[in-house]
Amino acid sequence: MTVPKLEPVREFAPSLALVGPAVGFAEIEDHTGSVVSYSVPFKIPEGTDAVVAVYSGQIPSPEFYEPFTQTTYWERQQIVIESLPATGTYYLGSCSTLDLARARAGNTHWQ
């Protein structure tokens, strides 16, 4: 995941949530940041689990220049998944660290 190289989002560090049947830490082969399992700030389907990769890398992070749009981005979050544990529907969600803190505190009224 990349973030536009703009000063207002310099500190923004999105987290990625993998949601699906029987999801666990073993499915995430490589990632940037810490991998944790706890409440996400959005509803997940019944019978699914969520694993969250929280960005904990350097800020400002390495840059990526996209020549077609002539835009520079900061590289933030990446996860690599070689295979999934079960057949079914999987979702990839993104949220901020603040959203995760609210979910852990049980505050979901802001959704």
Transcribe 26-54 into DSSP letters. Answer: GGEEEESSEEE----SS---TT-EEEEEE
111 inside domain: no
The C-alpha atoms of residue 29 and residue 43 are separated, in whole angstroms, by 25
Please write the tens of the pLDDT for every residue from 71-95: 999 988 777 777 777 788 888 888 7
The C-alpha atoms of residue 9 and residue 30 are separated, in whole angstroms, by 25
110 inside domain: no
pTM over 0.85, yes/no:
no
The C-alpha atoms of residue 23 and residue 89 are separated, in whole angstroms, by 11
**98: phi then psi, degrees, rounded to nearest 5:** -60, -40
What b/e readout covers 67-104, taking b as 16+ CB neighbours within 10 angstroms? eeeeeebbbbbebeeeeeeeeeeeeebebeeebbebbe
Tally the domains of the chain: 1
Domain encompassing residue 52: 2-104
Please write the tens of the pLDDT for every residue from 7-54: 988 888 888 888 888 766 555 655 555 556 556 777 888 888 888 888
